[in-house]
């Protein structure tokens, strides 16, 4: 059990990557505050964790609301006496944000920045003092490969995720002496409910993603969960201010496979 | 035990970082071929792993020599039947100032750090293609991401290791072979003794590290276990910094040189 006796707060944990992270944390021994806006789904995630013998509670949370965020951090400390790990997973983009900059409504820009940047800022701002009091902690922020390898028609999203990485590094620099580590995971394309807005024909979508990905398949949320467990655990004690790309090789370089695959003939 | 079904080759495993990584993989259940140019060091490390209940063999290898590399691969297959994991740790550093660096010295460093990584990866990947996949972990450096004063030769070789990693990941993905790198900060080992042995220099380096300490070979074990295990089955082409936050930026206001 790699997160035994730790208490964690995971945002956006009612579905997709966040749910997978919360479940993996509980399996590794952590007590988890599952947070999100959908109480029914959140309670279902908690029920699943508890029925597998894990410890979890649900709390409704909009990460853009300062008072709600502070209350969620306080609730974690009240419930389990500590807060060791924060996972900034809640994120947003939608059909209205998928367009070039001059066509982006100002309200949509604000919405993306609010959820993807102000949210993690508020969560870290509330959590860091609690971590300092107990002698340290770990922050894991879920950014995106699009933070460092841009994509068309996503100006607000890519900017928000790039800013999240730099905020993560700032925390690493400013709170390293207090033994707080902060790292970011950069997921590639994953098979999650949030990804459903990117396609109409699922089979065609999966085939297309597979053809663009060196490892030949779309990501499974468990891969992000394992990465988060690693970065949250003491095995990563010397890792801070760093990024971990989990994308099947998508941004490592140009991928133009020959039909027959690379040659294995000897020189 | 997260690596119970794995067989790993770790080059440069006779001491320093390679030794820490080899022990870490063995602790999680991997059978380890401990390979080093100094055979006696490899033997000691392999014996230590066996004494702790692990599985290991010791091999002598010169990573710059294709025949020696093939011998290491063949001996590992003879002992453990397969190879699932490769850690390319064998490396050297050059502290000769830039204007005094000869072609031969530059070539020596590139031969071990870059050509050696290529030769071993190529020989092992042939086995992994037949086996249906595998994980290759290359040891880059902070010097692959940023320049370092009077370490031109070393940084050039490690920068090569990083882009080699990315290109190989893109190339071997369809064989289910994953290729990743780690970029450690300065770690006190025999290789860095000339630099970190100086207490003034060591203190100034430590002052620039957000976590306030130098790394240890054991710090590298966790990330290597992660990359070796199936937990990272969709991770390839990545470079993980493991440097206490050194690369993230300025840990404090810079002090001007006198």
Shortest distance between the Cα of B195 and any Cα of chain A, in A, equals: 21
Shortest distance between the Cα of A186 and any Cα of chain B, in A, equals: 10
Residue A93 clears pLDDT 90, i.e. is over it: yes
B167, B223, B245 member nearest A253 (Cβ) = B167
pLDDT in tens, A123-174: 999 999 999 999 999 999 999 999 999 999 999 999 999 999 999 999 999 9
Q: What does residue A9 show for φ and ψ, rounded to 5 degrees? A: -120, 125
**Integer Cα distance of A3 and B59 in angstroms:** 36
Mean pLDDT calculated for residue range A40-63? 98
Q: How many CB pairs under 8 A join A and B?
A: 154
Tell me the C-alpha to C-alpha distance, in Å, between residue B233 and each of A114, A215, A264, B180. Answer: 33, 9, 22, 11
Which residue of chain B comes nearest to A212, CA vs CA? Answer: B170
- Identify the CA nearest to A112 among candidates A100, A89, A94: A94
Q: Per-residue confidence at B258, pLDDT binned at 50, 70, 90?
A: low
CATH architecture of A7-246: 3-Layer(aba) Sandwich (3.40)
A239: chain B residues, CB-CB within 8 Å:
223, 240-242
Query: What is the model's pLDDT at position B143?
Result: 96
**Integer Cα distance of A75 and A126 in angstroms:** 12
**Whether A189 contacts chain B with CB within 8 A:** no
Mean pLDDT calculated for residue range B90-117? 97
**Whether A220 contacts chain B with CB within 8 A:** yes
* CATH code of B210's domain: 3.40.50.720
Query: What is the model's pLDDT at position A263?
Result: 74
> Is the Cβ pair A242, B240 closer than 8 Å?
yes
> Is the Cβ pair B223, A179 closer than 8 Å?
no
Query: What is the model's pLDDT at position A258?
Result: 60
Q: Per-residue confidence at A264, pLDDT binned at 50, 70, 90?
A: confident
Q: Per-residue confidence at A183, pLDDT binned at 50, 70, 90?
A: very high
B173: chain A residues, CB-CB within 8 Å:
213-216, 248-249, 255
Which residue of chain A comes nearest to B175, CA vs CA? Answer: A215
- Identify the CA nearest to A242 among candidates B72, B179, B115, B140: B140
User: Structure tokens of A12?
Assistant: 């956006």
Sketch the domain layout of chain A as residue ranges.
Answer: 7-246
B180: chain A residues, CB-CB within 8 Å:
none
Shortest distance between the Cα of B103 and any Cα of chain A, in A, equals: 27
Residue A259 clears pLDDT 60, i.e. is over it: no
**Integer Cα distance of A8 and A229 in angstroms:** 11
Q: In what order do the strands lie in the sheet with B134-139?
A: B55-60, B31-36, B7-11, B85-88, B134-139, B177-184, B239-242
Q: In chain B, how many domains are there? A: 1
- Is B38 domain-assigned? yes
**Integer Cα distance of A50 and A42 in angstroms:** 12
- Is B253 domain-assigned? no
**Integer Cα distance of A213 and A216 in angstroms:** 5
> Is the Cβ pair B223, A223 closer than 8 Å?
no
- The Cβ-side half-sphere exposure at B17, using a 13 Å CA radius, reads 28
- Is B167 domain-assigned? yes
Per-position DSSP letters for B179-214, written without gaps between them? EEEEEE----STTTHHHHTSHHHHHHHHHT-TTSS-
User: What's the CA dihedral at A41, A44, A46, A49 to 10 degrees?
Assistant: -130
- In chain A, what percentage of residues exceed pLDDT 70? 98
B216, B222, B240 member nearest A244 (Cβ) = B240
Shortest distance between the Cα of B212 and any Cα of chain A, in A, equals: 6
Let me know: does B251 contact B245? Beta carbons within 8 Å.
Answer: yes
At A37, is the secondary structure helix, strand, or coil? Answer: coil
Mean pLDDT calculated for residue range A222-246? 98
Query: What is the model's pLDDT at position A266?
Result: 82
Name the residues of A annotated as catalytic. Answer: 157
Query: What is the model's pLDDT at position B256?
Result: 67
Residue tagged active-site, from B60, B135, B154, B227: B154
Which residue of chain B comes nearest to A262, CA vs CA? Answer: B171
Which residue of chain B comes nearest to A172, CA vs CA? Answer: B245
H/E run at residue A139:
strand A137-142
> Is the Cβ pair A239, B225 closer than 8 Å?
no
- Is B250 domain-assigned? no
Residue B206 clears pLDDT 80, i.e. is over it: yes
Q: How far is CA A145 from the centre of its chain?
A: 12
List Cβ neighbours of A251 (8 Å cut-off, separation of 6 or more).
Answer: A145, A148, A149, A188, A245, B237
Q: Per-residue confidence at B255, pLDDT binned at 50, 70, 90?
A: low
Shortest distance between the Cα of A145 and any Cα of chain B, in A, equals: 11
Q: Per-residue confidence at A254, pLDDT binned at 50, 70, 90?
A: confident
- Is B256 domain-assigned? no
**Whether A262 contacts chain B with CB within 8 A:** yes
pLDDT in tens, B4-63: 999 999 999 999 999 999 999 999 999 999 999 999 999 999 999 999 999 999 999 999
Q: Per-residue confidence at B138, pLDDT binned at 50, 70, 90?
A: very high
Rg (CA), chain A: 19
A169, A245, A261 member nearest B174 (Cβ) = A261
């Amino acid at each position: 059990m790699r997160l035994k006796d730790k208490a964690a707060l995971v945002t956006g944990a009612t579905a997709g990557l966040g749910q997978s992270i919360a479940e993996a944390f509980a399996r590794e021994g952590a007590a988890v505050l599952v947070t999100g806006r959908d109480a029914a789904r959140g309670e279902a995630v908690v029920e699943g964790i508890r029925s597998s013998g894990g410890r979890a509670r649900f709390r409704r949370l909009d990460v853009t609301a300062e008072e709600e965020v502070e209350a969620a951090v306080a609730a974690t400390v009240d419930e389990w006496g500590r807060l060791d790990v924060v996972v900034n997973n809640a994120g947003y983009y939608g059909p209205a944000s998928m367009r070039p900059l001059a066509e982006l409504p100002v309200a949509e820009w604000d919405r993306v920045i609010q959820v993807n940047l102000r949210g993690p800022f508020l969560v870290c701002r509330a959590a860091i003092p609690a971590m300092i009091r107990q002698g340290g902690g770990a922050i894991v922020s879920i950014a995106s490969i699009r933070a460092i390898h841009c994509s068309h028609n996503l100006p607000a999203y890519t900017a928000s995720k790039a800013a999240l990485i730099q905020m993560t590094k700032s925390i690493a620099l400013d709170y390293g002496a207090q033994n707080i580590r902060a790292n970011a995971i950069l997921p590639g394309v994953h098979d999650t409910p949030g990804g459903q807005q990117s396609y109409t024909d699922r089979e065609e979508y999966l085939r297309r993603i597979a053809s663009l990905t060196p490892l030949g398949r779309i990501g499974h949320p468990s891969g992000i969960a394992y990465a988060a467990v690693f970065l949250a655990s003491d095995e990563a004690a010397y890792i801070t201010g760093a990024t971990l790309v989990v994308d099947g090789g998508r941004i490592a370089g140009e991928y133009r496979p020959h039909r027959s695959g690379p040659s294995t003939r000897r020189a | 035990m997260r690596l119970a079904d794995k067989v790993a080759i770790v080059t440069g495993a006779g001491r320093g970082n390679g030794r820490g990584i080899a022990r870490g993989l063995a602790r999680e259940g991997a059978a380890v071929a401990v390979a080093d140019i100094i055979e006696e060091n490899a033997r000691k490390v392999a014996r230590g792993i066996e004494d702790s209940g692990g599985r290991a063999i010791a091999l002598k290898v010169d990573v710059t020599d294709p025949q020696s590399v093939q011998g290491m691969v063949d001996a590992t297959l003879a002992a453990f039947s397969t190879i699932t994991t490769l850690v390319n740790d064998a490396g050297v550093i050059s502290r000769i100032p830039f204007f005094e660096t000869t072609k031969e010295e530059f070539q020596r460093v590139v031969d071990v750090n870059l050509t050696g990584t290529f030769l071993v990866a190529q020989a092992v990947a042939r086995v992994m293609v037949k086996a249906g996949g595998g994980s290759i972990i290359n040891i880059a450096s902070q010097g692959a991401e940023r320049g370092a004063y009077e370490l031109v030769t070393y940084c050039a070789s490690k920068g090569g290791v990083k882009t080699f990693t990315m290109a190989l990941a893109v190339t071997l993905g369809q064989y289910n072979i994953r290729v990743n790198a780690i970029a450690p900060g300065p770690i006190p080992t025999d290789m860095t003794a000339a630099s970190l042995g100086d207490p003034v220099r060591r203190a100034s380096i430590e002052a620039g590290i957000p976590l306030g300490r130098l790394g240890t070979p054991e710090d590298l074990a966790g990330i290597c276990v992660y990359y070796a295990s199936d937990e990272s089955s969709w991770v390839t082409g990545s470079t993980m910094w493991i440097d206490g936050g050194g690369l993230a930026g300025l840990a404090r206001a810079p002090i001007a040189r006198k």
